[in-house]
Structure 1
C-alpha cells in the first residue's frame, strides 16, 4: 500500500498479490486461474479404514494462530464530520498600465510563459502504475465466498511458484494515530484508517506500507467487505507522548430504595482519567484514544462523545504541531450501602426517615409506611425481649430440676432423718418448679404467636413500601 505525500489526499494505492504454487509434476502453460476467498466448512473424514463402532470419529478443529493484534471496529453508526475545505486563494489581476520602472511587456511575457520542468515521477509511483496496468482481474460475489478470476493466462512451471496480482486500485485512507495503553504505555501507534473502495472483497493477509518511496511499516489486513472501514497499525509514533492518570472518589448519597427487607442508600463511584498528550513533531496529527470499558461504569460529563468498540470507548481529537493538550474523561458507577431494616430499633429508623424526607428521597406516603414499620418493630422487639427472658428462665428451671434429681438419686435406701427432710424439701421445690414451668411454656407459646403476627405485619408493610416505591 502506498500512502500519498499530500496530507489532503485521501487516496492510498493498494496492490494485492496471491502466491500460487504448482505442486504437481506437470507444467502449467497459459492456464486460467480463479481464486476464491472465504471460510467454507471443510474437514477430513477417514472413509478407507473399516469402522467397527457406531460412534462417529470427529477430529478436533484446527484454528489458525493469530499474529499481530487486530484493532477493534466501532459499533456505532455515527459519522465523522467532513473537514472544511480551505477557501481558494484570490488570483492577482494584471493592471492595464504598468507601474513606473516595470520591465518591458516582452520580458513580462517571457517571465509568464516560460515553461517549468515537470517533476520526475517517484520510482514507487512508476512501479505501482505499471502493476495497475498489468493487473487484469474479474470478480464475482458468490454469497459467503468471493472469487478472483485472473483474466490473462498464467504460466507456472512444475514445482515452482508465482506471485499473481489480484487487485491494484486506489482506496480511501488517511493517516491517524491510535493510543491504546495495552499496546504501548507511552506512545500511540501510527495507523491507516482505510475504507475498502476497491470494488472487491479483500481477504486477510500481511500488507507492506510505503511512504515517500520508503518503508513505513507492516500490518495485518483483516477480512474487509466492500465499503467497510478499519484501522491498520503499522508503526509506533515516538514523537507523540501520552501520560495517563486515574483518580477515584465516592460521592454523597443521592437516592434511597427498598427491597427484601433492606434499605439501600445509593451513591456514585467517580473515576477521572486524564490523558496528557504531547505532540513533539512539526506536523498536525489526528489522534484516537481507546479508553478501556469498565463493567458498571458509564461516560459522564465529558466534552467529547466517543464511539464504542467491543472493549473500548474511542475518543477522537486533533493535535497541532508542537501542541500539548489534556483530555479528561469522567466515568461513574452507581453503588450502594445496604442496611437491614429488621435489625433497626425505632429511634434509628425514625432518624433515617427524617433524613430521607429532608433530602426528598421518599414521599409522604412512603414516610407513613416506614413510620408504621418503626412502631410495629418496636412492639416486635419488646415481645422478643420478653420471649428471650422466658426462654432463659425455662433453661434455668431445667438445669435446676436436673440438679435436684441427681441429689435425690444420691440418697440411700435407708435414709436418715435429716436426709428424709432434705428429700421432702427437694420434692416440694420440684413441685413448685413444675407449676412455674407450665406457666412459662404457656407464656412462651403466646409470645411466639405474638412475634409471628408482628413479623407478618412488618413483612406486609415492607411489601407495601416496595410496591409504593416501584409504582413511583
Structure 2
C-alpha cells in the first residue's frame, strides 16, 4: 500500500534552506571566534545556519547579515527555546508512535481532503477516521468517512488510496508546526536560524557572527647558539569544532583579550504582571453576624525579596620548568629539535589593542580536526644567563633573556629550547610586545650553587619632628641579605638574582639592574671556577608618634640625647624639660607636705588620747600642760603646711600653663 501526504513533504521543505559554508574565521584569546559564511541562494529560498543551543545568545548578540547581490534581507527567523511538549501543546496536535493515518485524519474533522481512489480523484470533507475490522483473520483496515461534494457520504479504505492531500490551509499549517517540533527535538543541541531576503533571481548572502570557541594556542621552538642571535619558531594551534568541514577558509588568530560576556537573549523572557479588576466585577461574599462581639481584623502583607551573589576569581598560573644540567651543560641522548622547513605566510599587524596574524594561504580542516600552523620563524636577540629566584633551592636556573626585535607581538605559550644541537629543556613565556624583554628559564644549572644569609641590625633614628604637641620619630632598621655564589664550571657565567620587593622596605645598595612588580634584579658576573658575593642592603622605615604632654623629664632627656635632633628642636625640648622638672619638684614638695601633715594628724590624735586619760588622774597637771603645748605647736605647723600647699598648687598651675604653652608652640 502506498500512502503519501504531500503536505508532510512541504512541511519538511520549510525546515531546510541553503547552507552557507564558512569562508573566514578569526579566533581570539577570550573564548570566542568570529565566523563569516557566504554562499549562493536560489530565488525564493532562505539561507539556513545551524548553531548549538549554547551559542544562540552570542549569535543573537552579534549576527550581521548581508545580501551581496544588491537585495535586502527582510528578516531573520530562529527557533524558540521551548520544550517539545510546549510546542506540541501550542500546535494542538500530537503524532503518536505507530499512529494509523486514519486516526490522524480523524483529528481534522471538517477539513477537506483530495486523493486518488480507485483510479479517480475523490474530494470531500472528513467526517471521521477509524480502524475497522477487515474480516475474519484479516486484522484491521483504515477507514475514512467523507462527505463528498455531491452530498454522498463515502467510506474510503485508505489502503487503496494514494496521493492524499490536505486542502485545508489551517490543517496543513498545524501539521507543519508539529513536524518542525519533532524535527527540532531530534537534535536537541542544535538550533536553526533562517535568513530571508528579497530580490530577483539567485543572490549571494553572507552572515557574520561571534560564538564561543576554543582559544588558539601557541608553541615555540628556540635554538640558542653560543654567541649571536637565536632562532625562534612559533606555531599556532587551532581546533575546528564547528561541526562541519572547513574548505579554503581565510584564517586569522588574534593575540589579546577583548571584553566578551554572555547576555541571556535566546531564552524567552516573561514579565510578571499585576492582576487588576473592577470592584463591580467581583461578587459579594456572604456576611456572618455575631451577637454582642466586637471583632477587629488586621491584615499584614509582608513582601521580602533578597538576592545574594558573590564571584571570586582568582586564578594564579604557577610557571615552572625543569631540565637537567650536568656541570652547567645539558646532555640529551635524542636528536635536537631543529627549525622546521616551513614557509611562514602569516601577515602580522596591530589591530587597536590587539595583534593579529592573518595566514596568507587558505586552510582546510575536517570537522573535529585541529591545525598546527606556523606564524613566525625569524631571528631574535637572546642572552644566555642564570636566574636565581627560589631561595629554597641551592641551584639557579639556566635561562635566556629574550628581546622581542621581531616587530610582532609574541603570544604567550610553551617554548622548547635547543642548545648545542640537543634538547635543553622547556620554558613558559607570557605574551610580550615588540621591543619588550622577557626572561625564560628552561633547566636547572647544577654547576652553580648559592647560599643565602639574612642579617638585621638595630633601629637607627633618622629624623625627629614635632608639631601641635606631638613628637614624630622616623627610624630605620637595616637588613642585609648576602648571596654567596660558587661556580664550579670552567666557563664564566652571568647570574641574575631576583630579590623579593617588600612593602615598606627601601633598597639602599646596590642599584638594581631591573625592577619588576615583585622583585629587584641584580646582575652578578661569575668567573670560571670561581665565586662571587652579592650583598643587598635594605631599610625598613619605622614611624612613632608620641604626645609630649605624656612624657616625663627623663623620657624627654632620651630625645635630647639623640644626635638626629636639631639645635632649634633641642632648645625647645630643653625648655619644656626644665619646666617639667619644676613641676616635678613642686609635686615632690606637695607630696612631702602631705606626708608631714598626715604625721601631725596622727601625733595630735595620740596626744588627745593621752590628755583624756591624764585628766582623770590627780597630780598630772604638769604633764597635761606639756601635752597641750604640743597640741598647739602641731596646730601651728598644720596651718603653715596648708598655706604652703595652697602656694604650691598655684605654682603648679602656673608651671603647667607654661608647659602647655611651650608644647603647643613646638614646631621643628
Same fold (TM over 0.5): yes
1:330 to 537, 549, 560: 537
1:68 to 319, 322, 327: 319
Change (3 A) 1:261 1:288: same
Q: Distance in 1 between matches of 2:310 and 2:558?
A: 69
Contact 1:25/1:158 (8 A) holds in 2? yes
Q: What residue is the counterpart of 1:399 in the other structure?
A: none
Answering whether residue 15 of structure 2 is matched by residue 15 of structure 1, we say no
Q: Distance in 2 between matches of 1:352 and 1:56?
A: 58
Answering whether residue 566 of structure 2 is matched by residue 362 of structure 1, we say yes
Cα deviation for residue 34 of structure 1 reads 1.0
Answering whether residue 152 of structure 2 is matched by residue 152 of structure 1, we say no
Q: Deviations over 1:412-463 (max 9, x none)?
A: xxxxxx9xxxxxxxxxxxxxx9xx99x97x9989866754543342233234
Q: What residue is the counterpart of 1:164 in the other structure?
A: 373
Answering whether residue 659 of structure 2 is matched by residue 458 of structure 1, we say yes
Comparing 329-338 and 193-202, the one that deviates more: 329-338
Q: C-alpha root-mean-square deviation of aligned residues, in Å? A: 4.3
Answering whether residue 579 of structure 2 is matched by residue 376 of structure 1, we say yes
Cα deviation for residue 334 of structure 1 reads 4.9
Contact 2:225/2:420 (8 A) holds in 1? no
Q: What residue is the counterpart of 1:78 in the other structure?
A: none
Contact 1:2/1:12 (8 A) holds in 2? no
Q: Deviations over 1:347-379 (max 9, x none)?
A: x756874x45xx58431x444433322332123
Q: What residue is the counterpart of 1:204 in the other structure?
A: 412
Change (3 A) 1:139 1:449: farther
Change (3 A) 1:461 1:21: same
Higher percent of residues as strand: 2
Comparing 58-67 and 280-289, the one that deviates more: 58-67
2:244 to 15, 23, 26: 26
Q: Deviations over 1:94-118 (max 9, x none)?
A: xxxxxxxxxxxxxxxxxxxxxxxxx
Q: Distance in 2 between matches of 1:154 and 1:50?
A: 44
Cα deviation for residue 26 of structure 1 reads 2.1
Change (3 A) 1:165 1:446: farther
Change (3 A) 1:290 1:445: farther
Secondary structure, in 3 states, of the residue corresponding to 2:536?
strand
Structural mapping, 1:65-464, within 5 Å: 65-68=316-319, 124-125=337-338, 127-128=339-340, 130-131=341-342, 133=343, 135-182=344-391, 184-250=392-458, 256-258=464-466, 268-300=476-508, 302=510, 305-335=512-542, 342-345=550-553, 353=560, 355=561, 359=563, 361-363=565-567, 365-385=568-588, 451-464=652-665
Contact 1:250/1:267 (8 A) holds in 2? no
Structure ranking higher on relative contact order (CA contacts 8 Å, 6+ apart): 1
Contact 1:2/1:211 (8 A) holds in 2? no
Change (3 A) 1:361 1:153: same
Comparing 27-36 and 444-453, the one that deviates more: 444-453
Secondary structure, in 3 states, of the residue corresponding to 1:33?
strand
Contact 2:414/2:427 (8 A) holds in 1? yes
Secondary structure, in 3 states, of the residue corresponding to 1:314?
strand
Comparing 199-208 and 379-388, the one that deviates more: 379-388
Cα deviation for residue 62 of structure 1 reads 5.8
Q: Distance in 2 between matches of 1:59 and 1:145?
A: 31
Aligned residues: 371
Cα deviation for residue 24 of structure 1 reads 2.6
Change (3 A) 1:2 1:15: closer
Cα deviation for residue 295 of structure 1 reads 4.0
Q: What residue is the counterpart of 1:110 in the other structure?
A: none
Q: Distance in 2 between matches of 1:146 and 1:56?
A: 41
Which protein shows a greater Rg?
2
Q: Deviations over 1:121-162 (max 9, x none)?
A: x9754x43x12x2x1011231112222111001110112111
Change (3 A) 1:60 1:264: closer
Cα deviation for residue 194 of structure 1 reads 0.6
**Where does the alignment leave 5 or more consecutive residues of structure 2 unmatched?**
1-219, 273-303, 322-334, 600-615, 617-634
Q: Distance in 1 between matches of 2:378 and 2:347?
A: 13
Q: Deviations over 1:271-328 (max 9, x none)?
A: 23221111112222111011223444433354x6543222222110112221112222
Cα deviation for residue 341 of structure 1 reads 6.8
Change (3 A) 1:252 1:207: closer
Contact 2:460/2:477 (8 A) holds in 1? no
Change (3 A) 1:455 1:203: farther
Q: Distance in 2 between matches of 1:41 and 1:384?
A: 74
Q: Distance in 1 between matches of 2:355 and 2:558?
A: 72
Q: Distance in 2 between matches of 1:44 and 1:360?
A: 62
Q: What residue is the counterpart of 2:263 in the other structure?
A: 45
Q: Distance in 2 between matches of 1:56 and 1:208?
A: 50
Cα deviation for residue 68 of structure 1 reads 1.0
Change (3 A) 1:324 1:373: same
Q: Distance in 2 between matches of 1:238 and 1:341?
A: 62
Q: Distance in 1 between matches of 2:313 and 2:575?
A: 67
Secondary structure, in 3 states, of the residue corresponding to 1:371?
helix
